[in-house]
Amino acid sequence: MTLYPCLFFLVLAASLTIRAADWPEYLGGPSRACFSPLDQITTANVARLRVAWEFHSGDAGQTQCNAIVVDGVLYGSTATNQIFALDAATGRELWRYVEPGHEFGSNQRGVTFWSAGDDQRVLFNIDEWLYAVDARTGRKIPGFGEGGRVSLRAGLGESAKDKWVTCSSPGTIFENLIIMPSRVGELGDAAPGHVQAFDVRTGKLAWVFRTIPEPGEFGYETWPPDAHRNIDTGGANCWAGMAIDRARGIVFVPTGSAAPDFWGGARRGDNLFANCLLALDARTGRRRWHFQFVHHDIWDRDLPTPPTLLTVTHGGRRIDAVAQVTKSGHVFLFNRETGAALFPIEEKPAPQAGALDGETPAPTQPVPARPAPFARQEMTEADLNPLAPNHAQLLAEFRTFLRGAWQPISRQPTLIVPGLQGGAEWGGAAADERGVLYVNSNELPYVAQLSAVPQGGAGGLTRGQRLYMFFCIACHGPDKKGNPAGGMPSLVDLAARVPRADAVKLMTTGRNMMPGFTSLSLADREAIAGWLYGDDGHGATGAPRAEPVRDSAFEASAYAKFVDRHGYPAQRKFLDAAGNPAIKPPWGTLNAIDLNTGEFAWKIPLGGPDGAENYGGPLVTAGGLVFIAATKDATLRAFDRMTGKLVWQTALPAAAFATPTTYAIGGKQFLVIACGGGKLGAPRGDRYVAWAIE
C-alpha cells in the first residue's frame, strides 16, 4: 500500500525537475556541451512531436541564434540583430529591442543573461558596441557604459582606432564580469584581437589579455618586434565564443588566425596567441596555460567553435577535460586544470616547398594520435566525384593543384582538404554525460591561391576593384563570371538585370548563397557598384561619390600594400559543373566519438544519403537523442545517440543554420530552432519553431 505514495512523489519530483529546466546560456551552459538532462522526449516517443508554437520575427534571413531560456522567457535575435523576448510556452512576443540606424546589423549567434537579485540583464552586441538592457522590458540600462553601451575597442589600444571591430558570438559571464569575443579584419590593417572583460553593472573595462604580446610578455618573441604596434599585422581574436569552468575560475578562449590571412611574411614566427586554446584566470585574465593548434597560420585555420567541457575516464581515473574541434577535422583533448594532453600529440613535419619568397612556414604542425580525424585529410584522383558531369575537366584541373596537408598557398592553385569552412564549423560540438562527443563536419575541398597583381600594382586599380578582389572574387571570380551551376551567378551583365540601388542594398542584406557584408560602409558598396556597373565609383548620374571620413571595414592603402607585395587572396569551393563538390560523397557527416577511448562510436552522412554542406550544431539529450538541422534541405532530424540511426525528421519552413534549444515549462519539454534560411541558396524565412509531445 505504500507503493502508490512513493510513485506519486517520484512523479512529482520528476515534474518539478523538468519544470525548472532552463537553457540559460549559449549552447546550453558554461560547458558549451549542448547537452540537456531532460528526458521527456525519447527515442520511443519522438515521433509524437508536434508544433507547439511559431514566432514570426518579420525579419527574414539567415539566423544563427541559439536562443536561451530563463524562467520561462526565451531570448533571441533576428537576422539583422533585433533582440527579442518571448513567452517560452506560447511564443508570444514580450518585447523587442531595435537599435536605431542599425537595420542591417550583423548576424548574432546568441545573447547573454545575467542577474543579481532583482537586477536582470540581457547583454548583446551590435557593430562595435556591447549593450545591456533590462531583461523584463528590453530598455537600455543607463548606468551601463554611456547610455547603455560600451565599445569593444575599449581595451584594444590606439592601433584599433577607426578599424573594424564587432562580435558574432555572445559573451561569457563570470561573477560580475562579461568576457567578450570579437571579430576583426583579416588583412594587414586588422585590429588586434585581445580578450576583454567588462563589469556587467558599470560597463567598465576590468582586464585585457593581449593575444599579440607586448615586449616582456610571454610569446612576444614569436612575432616581429613591431607586431604589437599593429604594423602589417592584427587578428588573433576569439570570434567563436568561450567556455568556462566557474568552479575553477578558468575561462577557455579559442583564438583565430593572425592577419593577414594566407601570407605571413610580415609576421614571421609562430605568432602566439593566434590559433590557440587559452586557459585564462577568469578574474584577472592571467594566462594559466595554452596550446597552439597551428603554428604561423597561413591557411585561415581559425578555431571555429567554443571548446567543450566534459568528464572522461582515462587510466581508470575520472578527469575533467576540455575538447577542441578544428577546421582541419581533428579533436584535441586536454586536462582542464593543467593543459596536459590526454591523447598523444605529435609535431609532424610540414612542407616548405612552394612557399612564396619571403614566407617562412612553420617546420612542424601538431596532430593528435587519437581520435582519428573526423574529416578527410587528403584527396587523390580516385576521390574525384565519379558522377561529375565534367569529370575529365576536373581531373585535368586537379592535376595542376599543389596538394598535401599544410601545403603553403602560393600563386599556383593549392588544394585545401578539408576546406576553409571545415571540418568543424562555428556550430560546434555537443557532449553527453558518458564522455561521447558529437560533431558535424563538412567534406568540401577548397582551392586557394594568391593571384598575380596586374602590371602597375594594386595602386593602379580603382577602390571598387580592390574591394571586389577582397570581398567578391572568391565566389564571382576575377572575370566576374561566377559559377551559375554552383549557385554563384555571373555579374558580367548585372546592370541589365538588377537596378544599381538594389545591388548596393544586397551587399548588406545578402540573398540566396550570398552573405550580407554588414561591415561594408555605404561608400564601400557604392565603390564596388561602380566597378560592376562601369562608372568607376561614380553614381548613376555621374556625380562622384564622396569618400568616407572613416572606413570601418577596409583601408584601401593597406590593402594596396598587401596585394602589391603578394597578390590577390582568392579562394573557392572545388565544385563540378552541377554545383556539387568535386570530391566523392559523403559531403557532410555527423560523428559520435568516445573520448574515453578515442574511438568512433558511429559516423553517418548528414543531410541525405550523400551528406551535405552544413552549418549549425547538434543538441544531445538524456532522452537518448541527437537533434540537428544545419543543412540546406530545411529538415530537422533526430538520431539515436547510441547508434546514429535516424529516428525522426520533420520539414522546416526554411533551412535552419542554427543550433537547437530545449527547455521545459510546466512539465512539458520543448524543442525550438531558428529557421532563417538565406545560406547555400536556401530560401529565406523569419520563424522560430517550437515542438513538444502532443
Rounded CA-CA distance 280/369 in Å is: 26
C-alpha distances out from residue 343 to 315, 372, 436, Å: 11, 11, 15
Strand order of the sheet with strand 276-281?
243-245, 250-254, 276-281, 287-292
Q: Residue 450 is placed in which grid cell?
A: 594568391
List, as one string, the DSSP characters of 321-374.
Answer: EEEEE-TTS-EEEEETTT--BSS-EEEEE---TTPPTT----SEEEEESSSPPS
Rounded CA-CA distance 436/313 in Å is: 11
- Other Cβ atoms less than 10 A from the Cβ of 625: the count is 24
C-alpha distances out from residue 24 to 21, 69, 72, 239, 360, Å: 9, 5, 10, 21, 45
Q: Where are the domains of the chain?
A: 453-566
Q: Are 528 and 472 in contact (CB under 8 A)?
A: yes
- Other Cβ atoms less than 10 A from the Cβ of 287: the count is 19
Nearest Cα neighbor of 448 from 582, 299, 575 is 299
Q: Residue 185 is placed in which grid cell?
A: 579584419
Q: Is the dihedral of CA 572, 61, 577, 387 positive or negative?
A: positive
DSSP letter, residue 17 = H
Q: Residue 255 is placed in which grid cell?
A: 583564438
Residue 7 identity (one-letter amino acid): L
C-alpha distances out from residue 79 to 103, 109, 133, 514, Å: 10, 10, 19, 14
Euclidean distance between the first and the last CA atom of the chain, given in angstroms as a whole number = 33
Phi, psi for residue 449 in degrees, rounded to 5: -165, 160
Q: Which fold has domain 453-566?
A: Cytochrome Bc1 Complex; Chain D, domain 2 (1.10.760)
Residue 455 identity (one-letter amino acid): Q
pLDDT given for residue 101 in this prediction: 76
The gap from C-alpha 18 to its chain's centroid, in whole angstroms, comes to 31
Model confidence, pTM: 0.91
Phi, psi for residue 564 in degrees, rounded to 5: -60, -35
Contacts made by residues 502-507, CB under 8 angstroms, sequence distance 24+: 503/529, 503/532, 503/533, 504/529
Q: What size, in residues, is the chain? A: 694
Give the contacts of 605 (CB within 8 A, at least 6 positions apart): 585, 586, 587, 588, 589, 590, 611
Partners of 131 in the β-ladder? 124, 149
Partners of 440 in the β-ladder? 590
Rounded CA-CA distance 474/572 in Å is: 5
Helices (H) and strands (E) in the chain, counts: 8, 41
C-alpha distances out from residue 378 to 262, 346, 503, 610, Å: 20, 18, 39, 19
Counting as low any pLDDT under 70, the low residues of the chain are 1-20, 103-106, 452-461, 474, 483-487, 509-519, 536-568
Nearest Cα neighbor of 665 from 32, 35, 84, 52 is 52
Q: Are 440 and 628 in contact (CB under 8 A)?
A: yes
Residue 204 identity (one-letter amino acid): K
